[in-house]
Structure 1
Amino acid sequence: MLSIRIATRRLVAELRELLSMPPLWWSALYFFCLLTGYYVLRPVRDAMGATSEVAAVFPAGVVEWFAERGIALGEFTLQVLFTLTFLVMLVIQPAYGALVSRYARRVFLPVIYLFFIACLVGFYFIFDSGMSGRGVLFFVWVAVFNLFAVTVFWSFMSDVFDNVQAKRIYGYIGAAGTIGAVTGPSITRLLAERIGTANLLLISAALLGLCLFCIIRLRWWARQRERERGERGGQDFAMGGGVLAGIRLAFREPVMRAFAILMFFGVGVGTLLYNEQAAIAQRFYPDSDARTAFYAGIDLAINIVSLSIQLLLTRSLLNHLGVARVLLLPPLAILAGFALLTASPVPAMVALVQIVTRAGEFSIGKPARETIYTRVSPELRYKSKAMIDTVVYRGGDLSFVWLHKLLAMGGSTVVFGAGIVTALGMGYGAWRLGRTQAALPEGRNPETGTATAAAT
């Protein structure tokens, strides 16, 4: 009890100190609105992906075309949706690269969010009309929206805060997002049957409008940080560079290659665990209500654990252990979890490892990675980061979805055994990233404007 009181006093003192940092509160509001808006949409997306009404997901003509060739499209709904999402990511990447290269951030950041808002208004009319094939459009769009909107958010945070500030406050910003992740589904659950799915899309659009307002308010601090770094005014001038520079830089720069390795295998462990969790839950909980309760309990625990770590531990871990060591914590925990699951693939153990995996990602892994982006060039922050967070992410998702289908024929032990190998790959990526980020400049001294060496 004494330790809890001490931790609470420290938290209160920390929050009082942070009240003097307006950019933190605007950033927290921004991330809260962004994830609330996304999690309002996510249950709608998941319902479309899981529906038995194939005509609601795919256009009637496409369903008929496959049926004529003896293929029941409904049996491959998720595989088709994931594949299409990856292909769309590939197509969008050059368009995003062109936007970032040719327009200043004060232009392209609002344009991205205005585009998403316009899409939601369009989907409002599509859902209201009950158009056939709306499911595939909405599922793919939500996946694109989630990855691009979140990666743009963290890229912008790297403009607003330096490395020292990021280690102090990214946990708190993440906590605001976690609260949004709880608020969004609550809004959907409360209002879906009362106002209808189409009107929920307008609520999400309004929340994105608030994100746009936060971007405008944060622009002053982003310009201030540019002056301290000695960077050319990216808020007001185009970045330049090639449209496909994000892909080229991801392969050329050692730190970005390490990011890509960590992302690919990190997505892999999550995908293997998620898919095998579904199979185990179906086996142990044949009743759908019991299965729903099982999932709900996991989600609740993930949010509680994530929020607790974000508020109480993230700052201390980043400042006392350093980024390199913190990056290794999630893969080590996952490696231990998969080893236990190989020996005992039961629901309680799956739930425990899922909680550790996702809570560790939200509260430790993500903040540690994002602090590194405060120390790289704007082109790496906006172009290469977007490529890794979208194309590499979805490429890993797609690869391990099909790999799981193959491994599942050997049972849970085989899946989790492969998970151990994947976790080792994730650990290698974290180790590489820890080593390469140590060579980056730590930041700039606000008083002298000179670069300081990285702390190992």
Structure 2
Amino acid sequence: MPRSVPTSRSLRFRHALAASPALWWALLYFFCLLCGYYVLRPVRDAMGASADPSAVFPQWLLVAGERAGFALGDYTLQLLFTGTFVAMLLLQPVYGALVARFPRRVFLPVVYLGFIACLGGFWWAFHAGVPGRGGAFFIFIAVFNLFAVTVFWSFMADVFDNAHAKQVYGYIGAGGTIGALSGPAITRLLVEQVGVANLLLVSMGLLSVCLLCIVQLRPWAMARERAHREASGERAMGGSVWAGLRLVAQDPLLRALALLMFFGVGVGTLLYNEQAAIVRRFYPTAEAATRYYSTLDWAVNGLTIVIQLLLTRWLLRRYGVAPLLLLPALAILAGFALLSASPLPLLVAVVQVTTRASEFSLAKPARETLYTRMDREARYKAKSVIDTAVYRTGDFSFVWLHKFLAGFGSSVVFATGVVVAAGMAFGAWRVVREQRGLPENSPGDVAAAQPSRA
């Protein structure tokens, strides 16, 4: 009967909630985190696409650029991505020190409290009209997104083991997607009534709920660690603040994940920059650009939740991570091949939606389940390096590559994107091959009584 499938899915979801109270808090956590981020993302994107450099850069920097003989407005995204790359490199050892020297109950709240405090500072800066606030806000939101989300998934790998993750990660991802759908809706509804600055207060409130969820989920993380005889996250992990880099360099699977991340970011950056050029032409005001980006986010997240509810959990439990990693890579490769032949604005938007939706609904849940089968150093230290430093290195590299290629036209940009997408597909294949050597669950940390590896 037509209604049997939805009813069956609904019953499975209710059973999962009843079997795991932690799932309730994980859903609320990810919902609030992504809702808070997506309230602000359209604002960030509108600033990055702004044709008015004085809205992005402080006056002294504009004057310095003029004296050096070039206009900063011609390099807006390149400079913003470079600033983000530098900020990420500076913050990575700070995060590494937090993870190494403080227990989970300390460093997780500290990360989110730091972001809440920064949003309060930006709220003041927007109200006061501080010059250069646009560029600083763009960089902050990019840093916030990567660190806040990677901390979330690292914590989920503490709370759920591999078998449980295959059952609930699809639901958790869907909860986040609902938040990601709600965020742009809030922005579209409120931006013209309350202004950009007051949207930051909404995001601060949502991040405060995330702190509550962290506290509530701690007992389940501790219980999982006892059950699998792992070192407790309630004690400092120890080791070097640079341990994550060493782990990525030494471990073949982590290297493959870094390769996949680098080229995956590359295709997204090339596409994002071409899209920004379209926005500058057709949506010249900040309000119009913000509405456009929020509409695009709606489309991305709408497609994401459909895939999450219908395919992700089934594919993950039946076939493992292989199809979830390989299918998005092949779809993106096909999309860039089409764009290289016909770089139409509508097709750019369609490929953008497909690229981001497949990443959120398939590739990311697959990568995150792999960390449930690794030890805590890999989950917190190596994962952070891949999700932040490697990610922003890709951004930095490809945003300047795009600037060089843009002079030859969109077709050349997308033809280069085909090569980058092929690199992404190769990285996905390497991850699929290397992950076969992982245990089904994270190894019991027999090193709990031994010195840290790094």
TM-score scaled by structure 1? 0.91
Matches within 5 A, 1:202-281: 202-234=201-233, 236-279=234-277
Secondary structure, aligned partner of 1:117: helix
Distance 1:369 1:308, change over 3 A: same
Whole-angstrom CA distance in 2 between matches of 1:410 and 1:66: 25
Residue 450 of structure 1 aligns with which residue? none
**Which residue number in structure 2 is paired with residue 303 of structure 1?**
301
Q: Which residue of 1 aligns with 2:183?
A: 184
1:33/1:221 CA distance change after superposition, 3 Å: same
CA contact (8 A) 1:325 1:434 kept: no
AA at the equivalent of 1:109: L
Whole-Å Cα distance in 1 between the matches of residues 361 and 328 of structure 2?
A: 10
In the alignment, does 2:9 pair up with 1:44?
no
Measured in 2, the distance between the counterparts of 1:166 and 1:74 equals 46
Amino acid at match of 1:302: V
* Whole-angstrom distance in 1 between the partners of 2:92 and 2:436: 29
Higher mean C-alpha displacement, 414-423 vs 220-229 = 414-423
CA distance in 2, matches of 1:294, 1:56: 19
Aligned to 1:409: 407
Instruction: Give the aligned partner of residue 146 of structure 1.
Output: 145
Structure-to-structure mapping, 1:13-52, within 5 angstroms? 13-20=11-18, 21-52=20-51
Say whether the 8 Å CA contact 1:281–1:347 is kept in structure 2. no
Unaligned runs of 5+ in 1: 447-456
Q: Give the AA of the match of 1:197.
A: V
Q: Unaligned stretches of 5+ in structure 2? A: 445-454
Quote how far apart the aligned CAs of 1:433 are: 0.8
- Is the CA contact (8 Å cut-off) linking 1:101 and 1:241 kept in structure 2? yes
Report deviation, 1:49. Answer: 2.8
Q: CA deviation at 1:297?
A: 5.9
* 2-structure distance, mates of 1:94, 1:386: 10
- Give the total of aligned pairs: 442
Q: How many Å separate the matches in 2 of 1:254 and 1:182?
A: 36
Cα shift at 1:257: 0.3
Shift of 1:293: 8.4
CA distance in structure 2 between the partners assigned to 1:72 and 1:419 by the alignment: 27
| Percent of aligned positions that are identical | 61
Bigger drift between 369-378 and 182-191 goes to 182-191
Equivalence for 1:329: 327
Structure 1 Cα separation of the partners of residues 360 and 140 of structure 2: 23
Moved more, 357-366 or 46-55: 46-55
Q: Deviations over 1:258-278 (max 9, x none)?
A: 110000011111122233344
Quick one: distance in 2 between partners of 1:322 and 1:112?
Answer: 32
Q: Which residue of 1 aligns with 2:371?
A: 373
Q: Report the equivalent of 2:101.
A: 102
Which stretch shows the higher mean deviation, 191-200 or 319-328?
191-200
AA at the equivalent of 2:27: A
Measured after TM superposition, the shift of residue 294 of structure 1 is 7.4
Q: Is the 8 A contact 1:178 1:307 kept in 2?
A: yes
1:298 CA drift (Å): 4.5
Cα deviation per residue 1:131-150 (whole Å; 9 max; x = unaligned)? 12222222211111111000
Residue 340 of structure 1: how far off its partner (Å)? 2.6
Q: One-letter code of the match for 2:410? A: S
Residue 66 of structure 2 corresponds to which residue in structure 1?
67
**Is contact 1:175-1:307 (8 Å) kept?**
yes
Q: Which residue of 2 aligns with 1:452?
A: none
Give the secondary structure class of the aligned counterpart of 1:66: helix
1:355 counterpart SS class: helix
Which residue matches 1:119? 118
The secondary structure found in structure 2 opposite 1:438 is helix
Residues 49 and 277, structure 2, Cα contact 8 Å, conserved in 1: no
Match of 1:399 among 397, 400, 412: 397
Name the CA distance, whole Å, in 2 between partners of 1:147 and 1:373: 17
Change in CA separation of 1:130 and 1:72 when aligned onto 2, cut-off 3 Å: same
- Residues 271-325 of structure 1: CA deviation (Å, up to 9, x unaligned): 2223334456778x69989998876664433222211111121100001111133
Choose the corresponding residue for 1:340, options 328, 338, 341.
Answer: 338
Query: What RMSD over aligned residues (CA atoms) do the two structures have, in Å?
Result: 2.4
- Name the amino acid aligned to 2:148: A
Could you tell me whether the CA contact under 8 Å between 1:268 and 1:396 is conserved in 2? Answer: yes
Query: Shift of the alpha carbon at 1:355?
Result: 2.5
Deviations 1:33-76 (A, max 9, x none): 01111112222323333344434432222222222333222222
